């Protein structure tokens, strides 16, 4: 059978940059982007063209930030997608390579963040599981000093993005990907958990705030209903644009009411 034609629309660097500007991305701003390449349509140049378009829209004074998480650097005892046999757990812990910002690939955040991670001049934060990468003049300010025992809290790039009045861009991505909501989890009563991971001198376990994206879709629905969220299209993708600070403040109130988690889990 003949191969079916690709699903459009045709998206290019220039058309995407123009649509991002039309939606409201401003030259010189700082933008935290959550993205889905497949949602855009047929992109000429793939993720490289998307990153180029984002940088074009932001201009030379703007800064692009993306999540570059590495959730696979974790305890195999809690893996479920897929799980591994229990007899493998200890050998995995002993042999798992530690996090290296320069070479450790992303996992589960899509091909666009992985492209940013390897972009010339990109800087990446130090946390071995919830790092961020950034391109632009404020990159070092945002990703520097990411505390190793603070995944997405006050000593993470999220708090710096909030202070810098950055905005979130959901480019074909849903609210379940909105890392800014996690910062709110550090500002309300939340359980603590033991987190295992490979360290520079061997396996280590740290105590961290428990984070989960459970019900973030509902939270996002209510946030969009109650707060001014810019909505538009880029290619075939739905686009949403809003301040990090607005998302965090709304999530603090919403999570306290609708998803209290003060009890230990």
Interval 198-247: pLDDT, tens: 999 999 999 999 999 999 999 999 999 999 999 999 999 999 999 999 99
Distance, CA of 65 to CA of 46 (rounded, Å): 19
Q: In angstroms, rounded to a whole number, what is the distance separating the alpha carbons of residues 161 and 19?
A: 24
Average pLDDT over the chain, rounded to an integer: 95
Residue with more model confidence, 1 or 124 = 124
Q: Quick one: tokens of 97?
A: 């390579």
* Mean local confidence (pLDDT), 31-53: 98
pTM > 0.85: yes or no: yes
Assigned token pair, 23: 């939606």
* Residue 144 contacts residue 155 (beta carbons within 8 Å): no
Q: Residue 135: which of 146, 124, 144, 127 has the closest Cα?
A: 124
The pLDDT > 70 percentage for the chain reads: 98
Please tell me the predicted confidence (pLDDT) of residue 263: 52
Which residues make Cβ contacts (< 8 Å) with residue 232, sequence separation at least 6? 19, 22, 23, 24, 238, 239, 241
Task: Report the distance separating Cα 12 and Cα 142, nearest Å.
Answer: 29
pLDDT for the residue numbered 262: 64
Residues 6+ apart with CB under 8 A from 53: 13, 14, 16, 17, 20
Residue range 165-206, pLDDT digits in tens = 999 999 999 999 999 999 999 999 999 999 999 999 999 999
């Amino acid at each position: 059978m003949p191969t079916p034609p690709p699903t459009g629309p045709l998206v290019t660097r220039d058309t995407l940059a123009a649509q991002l500007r039309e939606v409201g991305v401003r030259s010189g701003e700082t933008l935290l982007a959550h993205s889905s390449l497949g949602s855009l349509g047929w992109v000429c140049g793939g993720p490289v063209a998307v990153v180029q378009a984002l940088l074009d829209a932001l201009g030379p004074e703007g800064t692009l930030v993306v999540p570059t998480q590495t959730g696979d650097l974790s305890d195999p005892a809690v893996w479920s997608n897929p799980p591994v046999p229990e007899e493998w757990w200890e050998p995995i812990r002993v042999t798992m390579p530690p996090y290296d910002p320069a070479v450790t690939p992303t996992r589960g955040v899509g091909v666009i963040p992985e492209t940013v991670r390897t972009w010339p001049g990109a800087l990446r934060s130090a946390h071995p599981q919830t790092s961020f990468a950034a391109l632009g003049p404020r990159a070092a300010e945002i990703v520097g000093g990411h505390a190793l025992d603070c995944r997405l809290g006050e000593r993470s790039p999220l708090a710096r993005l909030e202070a810098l009045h950055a905005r979130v861009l959901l480019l074909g991505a849903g609210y379940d990907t909105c890392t800014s909501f996690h910062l709110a989890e550090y500002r309300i009563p939340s359980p603590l958990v033991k987190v295992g991971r490979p360290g520079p001198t061997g396996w280590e376990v740290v105590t961290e705030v428990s984070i989960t994206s459970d019900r973030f879709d509902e939270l996002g629905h209510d946030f969009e209903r109650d707060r001014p969220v810019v909505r538009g299209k880029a290619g075939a993708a739905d686009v949403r644009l809003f301040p990090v600070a607005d998302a965090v403040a709304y999530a603090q109130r919403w999570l306290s009411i609708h998803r209290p988690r003060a009890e230990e889990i």
